Amino acid sequence: MSEISMSRIAYILALVGGILMVIFGLLSLIGSRYENFGPFLHWGFAYGSIVTIICGVIAIVGAKSATTLVWAIVLIIVGAIGGGLGGLLAVLGGILGLIVAVSKKT
């Protein structure tokens, strides 16, 4: 059985979390379109969906650098703001990346 390094696991968690945030944000945006107002977009739900999509894109971009100190902290914050299952995975990837970044320094 091959061993996967902790930095690779942090990358995978952050990447999958970002992808899930984008997918769930898009689904929420599409679903809120048909909520109470017919063809008009219900803006209360749209803002949350757009924030989730933006956080997901940031998590996808930052996943490659998950083991650097700054990006690990950014992933934790973005995952907490994005929320949901994708946000949880991004937070876990950020925490794991933070552990790797701190252990490299000492």
How far is 49 from 27, CA to CA, in rounded Å?
8
What rounded mean pLDDT belongs to the chain? 86
Q: Which two tokens stand for residue 13?
A: 């968690």
**In the predicted structure, residue 82 carries a pLDDT above the cut 80:** yes
**In the predicted structure, residue 36 carries a pLDDT above the cut 70:** no
Structure confidence by residue, pLDDT tens digits, 8-28 = 999 999 999 999 999 999 988
Q: Can you give the pTM of this predicted structure?
A: 0.84
**In the predicted structure, residue 6 carries a pLDDT above the cut 80:** yes
Q: What share of the chain is helix, strand, coil (3-state, %, to 5)?
A: 80, 0, 20
> What per-residue string of b and e applies to 86-102 under the rule 16 or more CB within 10 Å gives b?
bbbbbbbbbbbbbebbe
Q: Which two tokens stand for residue 72?
A: 């690990």
Q: How confident is the model at residue 29 (pLDDT cuts 50, 70, 90)?
A: confident
Share of the chain above pLDDT 90, in %: 66
pLDDT score for 40:
53
Q: How many CB atoms lie within 10 A of CB 68?
A: 16
